[in-house]
Amino acid sequence: MASPTVCPRTRLLTLLALLIGAALLFYGAAAHRVPVRKAPTPDQTDTDRAAAPDSLLLLSEFALTRDVAVGGVIRQPAGDLQRTYSGSTAPANACPT
Amino acid sequence: MASIDSFLTRLVSRRHWVQAAFLLVWLDPLALRLHGVCAPVFHCYACPLATFACPIGVLAQYAALHVVPFLALGVLITAGALFGGFLCGWACPFGFLQDVLARIPTPRFKLPYWLNYSRYAVLLALVLLVPLLYGVEHPLFICALCPAGAWEAVAPRLAQQLAAAQPVNWPNGLKIVLALLFLLAMIFTYRPWCRFCPLGAIFGLFNRFSALFLKLNLRACTSCQICAQSCDLALRPAHNPNDPNCIRCLECTICPQHALGPGTLLDRR
């Protein structure tokens, strides 16, 4: 079969998309960290929790994606992210929907 | 790259075997549960056998959290730029389910072309805007409606709960209705979900410039329309071989003039 050509502009678009995809993959895998608060314990007030030095986790996208797949992270009205489970409770084993 | 072209052309008659083989990847045979990574196919991460996370679920959940999912976007853009709609026609497990049901000998109706625009509305509204503005609890959140989630995740989990005499978590009524409607549609029309699929909307955008594409030799084409008649999605390959709604099933390569065939970025001038 005679082979129609690939337009150079199309080739450029493809390579550009691949480059952008690779850059996003690299940044998402290697560098992107998302601050997420630990779930509060029953006896902790908001002030205690905010003041606790170890209440904030910096999650990688791998960990955050695993958590969102089981409804393990929610967005608080104030805008910060919080885990829905703590060390003493297990996360759900599937998405709540 | 004539070898890749001829390889793919020979595979066309065995496409369902290729789709079945991909199930070995998506259905977690090694129980790896790699839900921190999303696969470039439409498969619910709540499915008991899902290896990877669903990219649409990840996009929607991250929209609700107001966080940019760089990894998921990277997977989608890279996979789209390499394969475009080939992922829909050859790898997607929900597409495979629809293809299997399409083999049931029933009267088959072709859906109008304009219905394909619905998937962009689903992507923008249900996947991005609803979770961004209203959160995951909104009844129109994509995961609360998704028929793939209903059949791949809800159905097996309901069965598990019933078999173990546990309390049953029923999904919302709209999800049940949509799941049943799409199941019925799959028996009487070809790939009905693909007209609404937000992931297909994303990959279809890459059809015009993906590394793997469908090429048309205008000198060989006689406008016999055999390609359009063989297309189950009511597309016209001789008019636009890289239509964003094309799932690259390659059925149109039945062209008696061999004017249509798979092409790669490396095709020379």
Q: pLDDT tens digit string along A26-43?
A: 999 999 999 999 887 766
Q: What is the mean pLDDT of residues B246-250?
A: 95
Q: How crowded is residue B113: how many other Cβ atoms within 10 Å of its Cβ?
A: 14
Residue B81: per-residue pLDDT: 97
- Inside any domain, residue A2: no
**pTM for this entry:** 0.90
Q: Classify strands B52-53 and B34-38 as parallel, antiparallel or unpaired.
A: parallel
A18 contacts chain B (CB < 8 A): yes
Q: What is the pLDDT of residues B69-96, one digit of tens each?
A: 999 999 999 999 999 999 999 999 999 9
- Inside any domain, residue A14: no
- Inside any domain, residue A10: no
Higher pLDDT, B122 or B30: B122
Question: What is residue A36's three-state secondary structure?
Answer: strand
pLDDT band with cut points at 50, 70 and 90 for residue A96: low
- Inside any domain, residue A20: no
pLDDT band with cut points at 50, 70 and 90 for residue A70: confident
| Record: contact A29-B71, CB cut-off 8 A | yes
- Inside any domain, residue A87: yes
Question: What is residue A14's three-state secondary structure?
Answer: helix
| Record: contact A61-B141, CB cut-off 8 A | no
- What is the interface pTM, i.e. ipTM, of the complex? 0.88
Domain count, chain A: 1
The H-or-E segment that residue A74 falls in is: strand A73-75
Is the predicted pLDDT of residue B1 greater than 60, yes or no? no
Residue A21: per-residue pLDDT: 97
Longest dimension (CA), chain B: 66
Chain B residues with beta carbon closer than 8 angstroms to that of A27: 70, 74
Closest CA to B36 of A58, A56, A29, A73: A29
**Chain A: residue whose CA lies nearest to B48:** A94
- Inside any domain, residue A28: no
| Record: contact B144-A97, CB cut-off 8 A | yes
- Inside any domain, residue A73: yes
- Inside any domain, residue A62: yes
Range of the domain at A46: 33-97
pLDDT band with cut points at 50, 70 and 90 for residue A97: low
**Which amino acid is it at B50?**
A
